[in-house]
Amino acid sequence: MPEQKKNTLKGVLPSKKQSRSNRSDGGNIKPHEATFNGIGTSRGIAIGECYAYEKEQYEHEITSLDNDNIEAEIERFIEAVHRSEKELKKIERVTTRKLGKGYANIFQAQIMMLQDPMLIDSISLRIRSEMIPAHLVIEEEFGHYHEKFKSSDDVVFQERADDFFDIKNRILRNLHVRKMLSWIPEGTIVVSDHFCPGDIILLSRSNVKGFLSDSGGKTSHISLICKSLNIPMVAGLGNFSQNAVSGTQMIIDGSSGTVIIHPEEKTIQLYQEKQKAEKQSNADASLTATLPASTKCGVRINFFSNIDFKEELLGLKETGSEGIGLFRSENLFIDGTKVPGESEQYHYYREMSETVAPQPFVVRLFDIGGDKLIYSPIREPNPNLGWRGIRILIDVPEILENQLRAVIRANALGNINILIPMITSLDEIMTICAMVDRLHAEVIEQTGVAGEKPELGAMIEVPAAVEIIDEITKCVDFISLGTNDLTQYTLAVDRNNVIVQDLFEKFHPAIIRQLHRVIATAQKNHCRVALCGDMGSDPLALPFLIGCGLRKFSVVSADIANLKRFVSRYSVAETEALALECIKLDSAQKIKACLETFQAEH
């Protein structure tokens, strides 16, 4: 077995000062094979050479200004902004060609930030009034917003933090009139401490085999882009990039999050066989992707898609998806600050509803919060446990009412359902129920027509919701299990914190027992139940969840074909016995061993 190390390369990789010959088999030093564990964010296996992607550091010659060079400095700043805008428009065009307009909207949001006159004016004013060089003002202004967004507990705003980081570095580089690095050696595995979405798009043109990042997680923009491009990625590697050396032979497994450096020949052969098996498995899965999924005893299992943009609807049926199980509507916040209006939302939802009809379309209400840049100047001591999700929507009713009215108006075909995020009490559900009833009546009165009243569901992602699950499932039409947040809040582990990432364990006995209890209670109360977290995409968890009684999964579209292939191997009776066995076990290790044994036997 390879030597196991975690999040450090000290003593394994040579320093960057060593020559490549010293790292090769022909040198005096023969490095040992070593294995590292990160977060697998985009599936696939890559075998190749490392390319250490280091972003250029700039020496800023100007440290102070006087009356003679203030205007020239402002002009230099504005020109850097214009060059940055041109770069982003180029990346946007490349993204549209590769992935469609949905992902191109990521860069449209950055372009809108650069076009914001308030941004230009505020930085220019500070340069002029405080006589501070442009680079210092840019660092301070963008650093301020980056930190506020990054500290948010809301994934959408965490991703917007990367936008600020990218824009800041882009402007600083253009202050020095330097070209962006967009071409690298063909067929390498690219390693960096941090990637921006633009990096992934541009570097992928060099037939990159894989990406490794010190930071990031499964829900980041860069991970979603890699999935769409079918490029393996491992994130959350801590300080891995600090000693990464271009030319080092390595293997990455985007499913398990495993990274192996200096692999021995037998290890390379092992992963080459895994590559072949994975390719064959994907080919087999694609043949049956569009067929209904049933257990070997004939019980139907439904698979729906989690999506972020309407452009993802293209080709949705070809993946085997049976509708939209989760639409993250907060992505309609174009730049993280502008709240979309009712009319804009209505047209967006109506188009999506018509595209997927008669299949269901579940709209999760704006799951925003943790960050106060939009609604409040107050900085909370712990935004993770603060004003977020349904709490914000109830406290800011104009935002909630606009969204609910838009959904109600768009539901002409009757296939739209509403999902409420971050539920912790029945009062929150009752408030939304009453509002939906009132607004539905108002729409009929004002327009003379209205579609069916959307069905209402609750996200189960907080331990409090688990404790009152009997009451919740008696007053909503359906529930959806958000296993990512449920695991995070139950185990008190930030899923985006690389320091404690090894403690984020979806197979922890507490999580397994909660899922079993929630699904059983929902069935008893004749309440539909689905699961929309990452756990639903894990083949290892699939038989356990079926055994708990789960029949509806909402996952990344690309995972559906593979999951359907596994379903036909199991009978419900076998999975029920497996579930009962798992909930009696007292450790994640024992539970995973039990699941692995079951999978090997089937």
Residue 18: per-residue pLDDT = 38
Band (pLDDT 50/70/90 cuts) for residue 63 is low
Of the candidates 146, 81, 93, the one whose C-alpha atom is nearest the C-alpha of residue 119 is 81
Asked if 330 and 387 sit in the same domain, the reply is yes
Is pLDDT above 50 for 17? no
Is 364 marked within a binding site?
Answer: yes
Check whether residue 333 and residue 261 sit in a common domain: no
> Residues 230-281: pLDDT tens digits?
899 999 888 899 889 999 999 999 988 999 999 999 999 999 999 988 888 7
Residue 579 has pLDDT above 80, yes or no: yes
Q: How confident is the model at residue 432 (pLDDT cuts 50, 70, 90)?
A: very high
Can you tell me the distance from the alpha carbon of 51 to that of 245, in angstroms, rounded to the nearest whole number? Answer: 7
Q: Looking at residue 388, what DSSP letter applies?
A: B
Q: Which residue has the higher pLDDT, 408 or 16?
A: 408
Task: Judge whether 130 and 365 are in contact, CB under 8 Å.
Answer: no
The whole-number pLDDT of residue 441 equals 93
Question: Is 328 assigned to a binding site?
Answer: yes
**Where among 125, 144, 175 does a domain terminate?**
175
Say if residue 168's pLDDT is above 60. Answer: yes
In this structure, are residues 492 and 511 in contact, taking their beta carbons and an 8 Å threshold? no
> Does 25 have pLDDT greater than 60?
no
What is the mean pLDDT of the segment spanning 4-20? 39
Residue 59 has pLDDT above 80, yes or no: no
Which of 40-54, 115-129, 159-173, 188-202 bottoms out in mean pLDDT, i.e. has the lowest? 159-173
pLDDT tens, position by position, 139-149: 888 887 777 77
- pLDDT exceeds 60 at position 1: no
Last residue of a domain, one of 265, 280, 311: 265
Tell whether 246 and 394 lie within a shared domain.
no
97 located within any domain: yes
The dihedral over CA atoms of 384, 388, 390, 395, expressed in degrees to the nearest 10, equals 140
pLDDT in tens, 513-533: 999 999 999 999 999 999 998
Q: Is residue 500 part of a domain?
A: yes
The reply to whether 219 and 306 lie within a common domain is no
Mean predicted lDDT score pLDDT of the chain: 85
pLDDT confidence bin for 372, thresholds 50/70/90? very low
Residues 298 and 349 in one domain: yes
**What is the rounded average pLDDT of the residues 581-591?**
96
Q: Which of 175, 204, 227 is the last residue of a domain?
A: 175
**Confidence band (pLDDT; 50, 70, 90) for 67?**
confident
Range of the domain at 374: 294-601
DSSP 184-206: --TT-EEEES---HHHHHHHGGG
For residue 16, is pLDDT > 60?
no
Provide the pLDDT for residue 556: 84
Among 47-61, 427-441, 565-579, the minimum mean pLDDT is found in: 47-61
Residue 303: per-residue pLDDT: 97
Q: Which of 221, 262, 508, 516 is catalytic?
A: 221
pLDDT of residue 154: 58
Q: What angle do CA 379, 380, 386 make, to 5 degrees?
A: 140
DSSP secondary structure code for residue 326 in this structure? E
221 is catalytic: yes
- Whether 545 is covered by a domain: the verdict is yes
Q: Is the pLDDT of residue 376 over 50?
A: no
CA distance 438 to 432: 10
The CATH number of whichever domain residue 233 belongs to comes to 3.50.30.10
- Total domains in the chain come to 3
Express each pLDDT in 305-357 by its tens digit: 998 778 778 778 888 999 999 998 987 875 455 678 999 999 999 999 999 99
Residue 30 in this model has a pLDDT that exceeds 70:
no
CB-based burial, 356-368: b 16+ in 10 Å, e otherwise = beebbbbbbbbbb
**More confident position, 581 or 226:** 581
What is the β-pairing status of strands 455-460 and 416-420? parallel
158/529 Cα distance (integer angstroms): 29
Q: pLDDT at position 19, please?
A: 35
User: Is 275 part of any domain?
Assistant: no
Structure tokens at 184: 């690298």
Is 484 annotated in a binding site? The answer is: yes
Shared domain check, 186 and 165: no
Q: For the residues 123-151, what does the mean pLDDT come to?
A: 85
454, pLDDT greater than 60: yes
Give the residue, 32 or 480, on which the prediction is more confident: 480
Whether 61 is in a domain gets the answer no
C-alpha dist (Å) from residue 61 to 75, 175, 424, 594: 17, 11, 54, 62
372 belongs to a structural domain = yes
596's tokens: 């692995």
d(CA 579, CA 175): 60
Question: What pLDDT, on the 0 to 100 scale, is given for residue 412?
Answer: 92
CATH number at residue 92: 1.10.274.10
What residues contact residue 445 under an 8 Å CB cut-off, 6+ apart? none
Does the pLDDT of residue 106 top 90, yes or no? no
- Top-ranked range on mean pLDDT: pick from 132-146, 159-173, 525-539, 555-569: 525-539
The winner for highest mean pLDDT among 1-10, 31-40, 160-169, 222-231 is: 31-40
Mean pLDDT of 387-407: 89
What number is the average pLDDT over the span 453-476? 97
23 is in an annotated binding site: no
Is there a single domain that holds both residue 14 and residue 93? no
Tell me, rounded to whole angstroms, the distance of Cα 310 from its chain centroid.
16
Collapse the DSSP code of 364 into the 3-class scheme (helix H, G, I; strand E, B; otherwise coil) and give the result.
strand
> Side by side, which strands form the sheet with 34-37?
3-4, 34-37, 258-261, 249-253, 45-52, 189-192, 210-213, 233-235, 39-42
pLDDT of residue 467: 97
- 485 carries a ligand binding annotation: yes
Same domain, yes or no: 363 and 488: yes
**Which structure tokens are listed for 245?**
């050396």
Q: CA-to-CA distance for 529 and 469, rounded, in angstroms?
A: 12
Residues 495 and 425 in one domain: yes
Verify that 126 and 225 share a domain, yes or no: no
56 labelled as ligand-binding? no
Higher-confidence residue: 531 or 7?
Answer: 531
Q: What pLDDT, on a 0 to 100 scale, did the predictor assign at position 4? A: 39
For residue 224, what are its two tokens? 């979603």
| CATH classification at residue 425 | 3.20.20.60
3-class SS of residue 540:
coil
* 81, 167: one domain: yes
How far is the C-alpha of 439 from the C-alpha of 443, rounded, in Å?
Answer: 6
Of 81-90, 108-117, 409-418, 578-587, least confident by mean pLDDT is: 108-117
Closest to 466 (Cα-Cα) out of 540, 504, 519: 519
Whether the pLDDT of residue 150 is over 90: the answer is no
pLDDT beyond 70 at 498: no
- CA–CA separation, 303 vs 323, rounded Å? 8
Question: Is a pLDDT exceeding 70 seen at residue 282?
Answer: yes
Position 335 scores a pLDDT of: 46
Residues 117 and 215 in one domain: no
For residues 489 and 425, what is the distance between their CA atoms, to the nearest angstrom? Answer: 16
Cα–Cα distance between 424 and 332 in angstroms, integer?
A: 25
Q: CA-CA distance, 446 to 425, in Å (whole number)?
A: 32
- Selected catalytic residue, list 50, 226, 527, 532: 532
Task: Tell me if 418 sits within 8 A of 365, measured CB to CB.
Answer: yes
Does 190 fall in a domain? yes
Q: Do the domain assignments include residue 158? A: yes
Res. 535: pLDDT tops 90: yes
